[in-house]
Structure 1
Amino acid sequence: MKKWSTMLSVCSLGLILAACNNDAGTDEEGNEGDEASENQEEVTISVASWRFGNEGEETLERSMVEAFMEDYPHITVEIDESIGDPWNDSLSAAASASAMPDVFELSEVPIALANDWLLSLDEVVEGDEDFDNINEAVKEQLYYEDTVYSLPSGQHLLGYFVNKDLYEEGNLNVPEYGMSIDDFSNAVRDVTDINSGQVGLNQPFSIIEWYPVSANDDMGVFTYQDGELNLDSNEFISGVNLANSLVTNNYVYESLTEEQKGNFNGEDGNEVWFQSEMGLRWDGTWVLSFFDESDFDWDFVGIPGGKAFSVNDFMGISQSTEHPEEAYLFTKYMTFGKEGFLKRLDLVDEQDFTLNTLPITTDQEILDAFFERLDVPGILEAYEDIENGVANLPKIVPGYTAARWNAPTGVSVGEESNATIGQLIDAAVNGEVNIENYSSQLNDLANQQIQEGIDSID
């Protein structure tokens, strides 16, 4: 049987596409839409997502809802504005009041499973071409106990963006996708000149996530391997030590003193990047629209080792829905379905919206259309090998949030008498404690949190 603890052990990522068997039907050319909808029962479904923005705001997602209702006039979609932060608490309150939206964004899939919010989707996805086109590595993330419970709603890449001009102006080697760990370290160090207002990196803490992936082909993010974390491993300790080395030697903007930051034109790391004073910036591909404002040549170079580091978002359909097929049709239209994604591209062109997700499909027509609109060589290179990459874990591994950040350690660090795992690791990165003194204790505590997460579902 597929369980979260085993199916995520490799954490490989790929492209995602889903669609549905539904009663809407198709016309003679195979297109679902108005003609087929004329004979359908009129239904209303509700959706909750943080993607819509504020009520009344003109966003791409709200325009997609309108486009869906135009294409499927027998389905009315109402945006549930009552669901908000904290997201899980808000959904829990709605469930208690028997007022769950039909479709809703998932901040953590395991929590939704533990609370029995999710409808089994096996019947609606069976035989569906869009769903069958989902890359197998990603498709596994949608299952628990051999049953489909969630659907992909967005895809992004995490990694480093490089200011190519800054390196070329200094006659330095420009970091490229697939660089080694040593290449990365040298690139951060070589471009840094604090007195001249140049720094190598925005923040050091993401090194802890990717270092094990780059150092060991068998490890996933944050040392995740075969359903367990390995925080007592050389890969984890070496990652913390590399981050600490960059911090203590003033190669990281976030860790500079206020006096040192006075050499830069920006007020924070974001402004320093746009002032062309930072060599490498850790971020996700959701920032692409903002990077269009840059006055320098930049590219995406991912993480050392050349593995795609992907972040997927997920949506679920409520157990209480009275219209599972319509809810599924809507969900795939908004996210991974071919029909909907092509409409998304049209809206981007027509209304000057910014593309806010990478394609979640292996459909070549969509991939060609998308990358015609996105000229970032490093992103294309990473995307082409995404099925062999690694997945970010907070939304898919039970207990991970506690294991990575929130669980108290009982260790006193600075002003924290009972530092969390995240605070203790940050303290090690900042040189306040020696990580080797705590790695075994952290490993036991973190894996206890993973197991408790699994138990909460079972």
Structure 2
Amino acid sequence: NPTNPTNPTNPTNPVQTIALTYADWGDQELNQLMIDAFMEKYPHINVTLRTDILGAGAEFTGNLVTAAQAGLLPDVFATDNVPTVINAGLTLDVAEYWDADPDTQLVYDNAAFTGVYNGKRYAVPSFQFLKGIMINLSIFENANLTTVAGKYRTDVNGYPTKDWTFSEFIEIAKAIKNFDLQNPENIILGFDTWYGSPDFQQVWPMMNNANVQYDTWDGEQFNYTSADWIAAMQKKVEIHQLVDGTTTRLPASVFDENGVLTIPELGGYHIQTGRGAMDIEGSWQFWVINDVEENLGQKIGFWPYPSGSEGLFPPTILDYQAVSAQTAHPAEAYLLAKWMTFGREGWEARLDILEARREEAIANGETPQFLDRFPIADYPGVWDRVANLVDGIEGIEYTLDRISQAKPDLDKWLPGYKDFWAWVNDPENPYNWENLVTAGPTAVAEYAVQWENKANELVQALLASMGNE
């Protein structure tokens, strides 16, 4: 019977039109072009782009829950937190489709194991964003740093070497800074941190041990009492305590009684204002590279995150999409989710669109935007085209050459992890982050026991139960 095909992936099937809806908080013009290309490939599937789910990140996820309660959940949707939508009953287990999909055999292992709970795949990883070090190359050229034996190495341009170590990164930050509060026009800050503090304990240990993931997660537990985590956290606390321009943490003396900065040069997004020499940053901020060049005439590069004893496992940040538990067409919805995220053909369509945009910008005398998110699978032809869309970002190739070894973050998929960080920042918790900063590096070993116990308590219980309901 031609109206009941057994293979929904066959675009030649003469099927009745299937209606699907899609929503994420990204570039809606790009989304519509991607959907148009999908419908051209699968003419029996009609997709409507839903733009009524408002907000981004956690707000968007909250609005998805509201939409689901009204029976209006999109068939495919993005989320900032997979456990949240699982607990709300929004997601379908798509393991049968993923496991039978040839494309998924090319997904990098460290991405593929995420979003799975007791054998049930409630989300598909969509893109990976790179975490690295934005560097103001103009500042480095002016500083003219040269290698200092035992402290740091520089290349012929005066830039840090791309195989730099953790200690070299810190020593360079101290050497490049100029915290001249009497002459604020000369101020240079060493490095901007990761959302308020250095991220050393989450990244350094995984560079020293091939067998642990981000934040020492080994697939079963966190290992905060390991020597690597303790050493990284001790250095984090030590550096975070500084208010001398090594980081963007500032002394009380530069604020008035109302907490307002008295030196405007110390305000703003420091890599964008030309005051930050370095910035631990995600690739979603690649827009700032063109911004700084156009507005300040300065050049920003993207250096690899410093390497550990085992080399560089590029830290990445994963996004996720899910298929609705309410969908009437799960196989086709999986096809759409795949197209909009990790799939080879979807990436080829995306690159067609982005390459056309790039050519149009150049033809109009405009600076084209850089690609800011990257495939999670080893698609050789796709990666060649990806490289062209970041051409001009000094330093990025060192990370991309090692992308198959990337170790992604845990934030959006690991249940209980968000709760753990709420506990870390809870003023009522005697072992909170601010208390650790006050206590200093010598207290890290004691705090490590408490943090490890709490993280494992919160995560392991939820991992054991999620998917088994």
Give the TM-score of the pair, scaled to structure 2: 0.78
Counterparts of 1:104 and 1:254 in 2: how far apart (Å)?
Answer: 38
Which residue does the alignment assign to 1:316?
A: 322
Instruction: State the distance in 1 between where 2:62 and 2:273 align.
Output: 40
Residues 163/310 of structure 1: CA separation in 2 closer, same or farther (3 Å cut) = same
When normalised by structure 1's length, the TM-score is 0.80
- Deviation at residue 447 of structure 1 after TM alignment: 1.6
Q: Residue 244 of structure 1 contacts residue 429 of structure 1 at CA under 8 Å; is this kept in 2?
A: yes
What's the counterpart of residue 21 of structure 2? 46
Q: Give the corresponding residue for 1:177.
A: 162
**Distance in 1 separating the partners of 2:215 and 2:223:** 8
Q: Where in structure 1 are there 5+ consecutive unaligned residues?
A: 1-20, 26-31, 54-58, 411-415
Q: Give the superposition deviation at 1:356.
A: 4.0
Which of 264, 282, 285 aligns to 1:284? It is 282
Matched, 1:233 2:233: no
CA contact (8 A) 1:209 1:221 kept: yes
Structure-1 separation of matches of 2:349 and 2:447: 52
Q: In 1, Cα distance between the equivalents of 2:188 and 2:70?
A: 55
Question: Counterparts of 1:361 and 1:331 in 2: how far apart (Å)?
Answer: 15
**Which residue of 2 is the match for residue 384 of structure 1?**
401
2:448 to 435, 439, 447: 439
Asked whether the 8 Å contact 2:339–2:345 carries over to 1, the reply is yes
1:82-101 map, 5 Å: 82-84=52-54, 85-101=58-74
CA contact (8 A) 2:289 2:299 kept: no
Cα 1:255/1:165, change in 2 over 3 Å: same
Aligned equivalents of 1:114 and 1:153: distance in 2? 20
* Higher relative contact order (Cα pairs below 8 Å, separated by 6+ residues): 1
What is the RMSD of the two structures over their aligned residues, measured on CA atoms? 2.9
Which residue does 1:224 correspond to in 2?
A: 217
Residue 247 of structure 1: CA displacement?
Answer: 3.3
* Structure 1 residues 157-236: aligned runs within 5 Å: 157-172=130-145, 173=154, 174-195=159-180, 196-203=186-193, 204-236=197-229
After superposition, the Cα gap between the structure-2 partners of 1:95 and 1:455, relative to the gap in structure 1 and judged at 3 Å, is farther
Aligned partners of 1:407 and 1:420 also within 8 Å: no
How far apart are 1:52 and its partner, in Å?
Answer: 4.4
1:42 shift after superposition = 0.7
The percent of aligned pairs where both chains have the same amino acid is 23
Counterparts in 2 of 1:131 and 1:307: CA distance versus 1, 3 Å: closer
State the distance in 2 between where 1:432 and 1:210 align: 20
Kindly tell me: are residues 262 and 66 of structure 1, through their superposed partners in 2, closer, same or farther at Cα, counting changes over 3 Å? Answer: farther
Q: Could you say which residue in structure 2 is the equivalent of 1:10?
A: none
The residue matched to 1:254 in structure 2 has which SS? coil
Match of residue 346 from structure 2: 340
Q: 2 CA distance for matches of 1:324 and 1:370?
A: 30
Counterpart CA distance in 1 for 2:78 and 2:90 is: 12
Which residue is equivalent to 2:248? 253
Q: Could you give the per-residue CA deviations for residues 43-71 of structure 1, whole angstroms, max 9, x where no partner exists?
A: 11112212245xxxxx3223322333344
| SS of residue matched to 1:222 | helix
Shifted more, 386-395 versus 229-238: the winner is: 229-238
Per-residue CA deviations over 1:163-202 (Å, capped at 9, x if unaligned) read: 2232232121322333111111111111111103011111
Q: Which stretches in structure 2 are left out of the alignment for 5+ residues?
A: 1-5, 146-153, 181-185, 256-260, 359-367
- Helix, strand or coil for the counterpart of 1:448? helix
Q: Which residues in structure 2 correspond to 1:361-376 (within 5 Å)?
A: 361-375=377-391, 376=393
Query: Which residue of the other structure, out of 330, 334, 359, is the alignment partner of 1:328?
Result: 334
Q: Which residue of 2 aligns with 1:359?
A: 375
- Partner residue in 2 for 1:29: none
Compared CA separation, residues 73 and 290, structure 1 to 2 (3 A): farther
**Alpha-carbon contact 1:244-1:431 (below 8 Å) kept:** no
Does 2:272 correspond to 1:274?
A: yes
CA 420–141 in structure 1, closer or farther in 2 if over 3 Å, else same: farther
1:151 aligns with 2:159: no
Please state if 1:68 is matched with 2:15: no
Is the partner of 1:68 in helix, strand or coil? helix
Give the distance between the partners of 1:22 and 1:146, measured in 2 at CA. Answer: 24
Instruction: Tell me, yes or no, if the aligned pair for 1:208 and 1:239 is still in contact at 8 Å.
Output: yes
Letter in 2 for 1:229: F
